[in-house]
Structures are given as C-alpha cells and as structure tokens.
Amino acid sequence: MSKILVVDDEPDIRELVQEILVDEGFDVEVAESADRARDQINQHQPDLVLLDIWMPDEDGITLLKEWKAEHNEIFPVVMMSGHGSVETAVEATRLGAYDFIEKPLSLAKLLLTIKHALERVSLQQENTRLRHYSQASDEPIGKSQQMQALRDQLQRVAHHNTPVLIIGESGTDKEIFARYLHNMSDRANSPFISVGVSSLSAENSAAELFGSEEDDGRIQTGLLEKAEGGTLFLKDIADMSLPVQGKLQDLLDSGQFVRVGGVEPISSNVRVVAATKHNLEQFVHNGNFRDDLYYQLSVVPIPLPALRDHYEDIPDLLEHYVAYFAEREGLTYRRFSVAAQNRLRSYHWPGNLRELKNLVQRLLILGRDEIIETEEVESVLGKRQKQPAEYNNLPGFDLPLREAREQFEKAYLEYQLKQADGSVSKVARNVGMERTHLYRKMRSLGIELKADGSDK
C-alpha cells in the first residue's frame, strides 16, 4: 500500500483528499503546516507528497527546495494551488516537483497524476535495483588472495590504454574480467563490444571486424567502429586468421585501420582486450600466430586462476549464482548446506566457473527443498562425471562441446599419424583432408611433427 502525505492549511481540503485517497486504497497522512510536514516526513517516509503552495507559516516552494536538497529523488512531490500561474508551475517543476494541480481539484486528474507519479517511482526503483545488480554481476566474485590481487591489478591497468591479454582455462569467465576492466576505466560510459572470434565467418571475418566499402559507395560499419571510444573484447584470439591478425596489428601500431575494400585510413580510439585459453607462444612457434601481434597484446598479460586454485571463494560464488538465477529466471531461492559447500570446495572443477554456474542452475531447477544437501550435490556431480562404458576410450564427456571436439580431433589425428608412420601426406589421404589444411589443424591442436617424417 502506497503512503501519501497531504500538506494543506485548509482543513476541508485535507479531509476531502484524505477520504478520497483512503477509499482508493492508499495509506494517507495529513499535515496542516510546514513544521508538521517535516515531522511526518521524518516519521513516515511517504511514497508521494501532495503539497499546497500557499500556506501561512511557510510556502510550499520553500519546503520543496528544502526537501530537494535533503532527500533528492526519494519521493515525488505534486504541488497544489488555488492561485496558480504558469510561472509558478514552471518554477515548481524546475525545482523538482513532479507535477502541478490547480484548485479546485479535479478528482480524475488528481488520481491520474498520483498513479503516474507512483509508477515513475516504481520504475526508477526497479532501474536502480537492476543497475546495482548488474554492477555486482559484472564484478569478479571472491575474497581470496588471488581474486583480491587480480581485482587490484585490473584497477591499475584500467587507467592505461595499452592492449590487454587475458589468459585462462576454458570456463574461467574471461569476459567478466574484461568488463570489470572496462567499467573501472574512463571508457566505462562508452561501448563494450564482445566478439567471439571463432564465431566470425571465415570468409568475412575482416569485414565483420573492420567494416567494408562497396564500389557503389555503400559502407558497412564493422564491430570496431561500433566500439569507438570504448573497449573491443576479442574472445578466442587464437582462432583469428593470419590476414586478420595483420590488420589488427596495423591498428595497434598506428591507431588507424582501413575498411575492407576501402583506401582511406580511419582513426580509432578503441582499447583492445583479447582472451585465450591457449599458449600463444606455442602458436607463434608453430606459425599460427603473428609474433608482432603477440608481443603487442602481451605487454599486459592477465593470467586467471583456475577455480580449483581459489576454492575458498566457492561459497561466495554459490550464493552469487543462486541470487543470479533467482533474479534473472525466477527460480526458487535455495541455500547450500555447509557440508554441500565443503564437498564442492573439494571438487576439481574441470569446467571452472561455467561448470559451477551450470550446476547451480540445474540444482535450482530440479530441487524442491530449501536446503541443498550433500546427497543432492553428489547425484548431480555423479551424472556429470559418469561416462557410458562403451565410450570409455573417448575423451571429454565432462567438457563443453568445443573442447571435447578438440580433444577427440587431437587423439584421432595422433592415432592416424602413428598408423601412417609419421607421414602427413598419408594421413591427409586417409582422412580426406588437403595437406596444408591438415598441417594447420595439427599445429593448432599442438601435435608435434617430426622433421624427418612429416612428409614421407
């Protein structure tokens, strides 16, 4: 029930408005003077105030200025007057009044104004709550020494414009650290554009990133331009093709780029943050990643710890993700028992934060009791780790699809290479791949090739 304070020196007006609003379901207090209104504000924080402008002891405009200074936007104020003018209404709204109503009061207008004012308050409160929640969700969770040191490092780096390379195992949620870096910087109010490099089309990845110009003058804006003034986050940087790596290197060197099909260089004010789970030094050694780009990106490397290396943060992470799913998806709020938390602290978490997040979601969807006990956790962990017996020789059943596929491809090609006595040419024929493509695939998977047997 919304609380409304009616401030008016005329008893008939106070009583009439109070009676009408009570009948409409509001909780109504009244005040006959400015001093009494101050007492009511301090004792009962109202959701809305109806304030008369002309009162004998102190006028409503003065009171409005006082409240604006002390309480800012805590409650909307609707001014009332029987001697109103356009100038008075303008002055009241300039000082922060929500609206101005003339006496004698129109019941329909009064109720409509109150309805709209309270709706605005509700919307503002919801936006504030979501903003606070969003900011909390964008901050890395954890009180461990590793997480505190990591946040401190990101805060220091945030005030510089140098490129950043975030390195960590799959599932360590590299994007949340990139967003935190962005939010701590002076670019926080500018765009944050997240790009999954592996999701870009092989043929048009350069145009998607840098834009394109057609012969007829048509221009297609790229993701880089959409991030102007802000941050461009490149996930899976190891998947970027060598030609696109070259364009990115030119951008970092010169602060300019050229659209695909264009000729004029375009200045860019974008901070590049890249992320990878791979050892880029090995990629450079294998010829799959440009050494100059690697050195540019790794000026400020940010290594992320695996979840098993800061297990003391797991209780806080569990609480965070329970609140996340309760808020975002309307799932029933549940709590982990201490024993269940301790069990999860001892788990090795091959999928890191992504695996923990998925586990929490599953438990909230499937469970009913308020408390999540160890038995329920064990049942979910058992299902996640158990692999059908007929597939025991295959890797990766507890991994995301892409990682499982990479493990399978590596094991498959190593087997084929062994069967072909190390001959890449034979493997290419046997598996139906073009030899150059096979070389690139093997290097990307970290398969070592013997110099004397790579092309028998």
- How does pLDDT run along the chain (456 residues), one tens digit per residue? 789 999 998 998 889 999 999 999 899 999 998 888 888 887 777 889 999 988 877 888 888 888 877 655 568 899 888 766 667 777 777 788 888 888 888 888 899 999 888 887 777 665 555 554 444 456 899 999 999 999 999 999 999 999 999 999 999 999 999 999 999 999 999 999 999 998 887 778 999 999 999 887 788 889 999 999 999 999 999 999 999 999 999 999 999 999 999 999 999 999 999 999 999 999 999 999 999 999 999 999 999 999 999 999 999 999 999 988 988 888 888 999 999 999 999 999 999 999 999 999 999 998 888 899 999 999 888 755 444 444 445 555 555 566 677 778 888 888 888 888 888 888 888 888 888 778 878 877 778 776 444 454
Q: Which residues neighbour 114 within 8 Å (Cβ) at sequence distance 6 or greater?
A: 4, 21, 26, 48, 50, 78
Is residue 217 within 8 A of residue 260, CB to CB? The reply is: no
**What pLDDT does residue 453 have?**
44
What pTM did the predictor assign?
0.59
Same fold, 3-131 and 160-303: yes
Pick the CATH number of 308-386 from 3.20.20.370, 1.10.8.60, 3.40.50.2030, 3.30.390.30: 1.10.8.60
Closest CA to 36 of 57, 61, 66, 12: 57
Closest CA to 298 of 315, 314, 316, 276: 276
**What pLDDT does residue 135 have?**
47
Is residue 399 within 8 A of residue 409, CB to CB? The reply is: no
Q: 401-444 in CATH: which number?
A: 1.10.10
* Beta-carbon-side half-sphere exposure of residue 22 (alpha carbons within 13 Å): 10
> 440: exposed, middle or buried (C-beta count within 10 Å: 0-12, 13-18, 19+)?
middle
Name the helix (H) or strand (E) containing 194: strand 192-196
Number of helices followed by number of strands (H, E) in the chain: 19, 16
**What pLDDT does residue 397 have?**
56
**What pLDDT does residue 156 have?**
95
Architecture of the structural domain at 3-131: 3-Layer(aba) Sandwich (3.40)
Closest CA to 138 of 128, 151, 125, 149: 151
Alpha helices in 211-349 (DSSP H): 223-226, 242-254, 280-286, 291-297, 314-329, 338-345
Pick the CATH number of 160-303 from 3.40.50.300, 3.40.718.10, 1.20.1440.230, 3.40.640.10: 3.40.50.300
Residue spans per domain, the chain: 3-131, 160-303, 308-386, 401-444
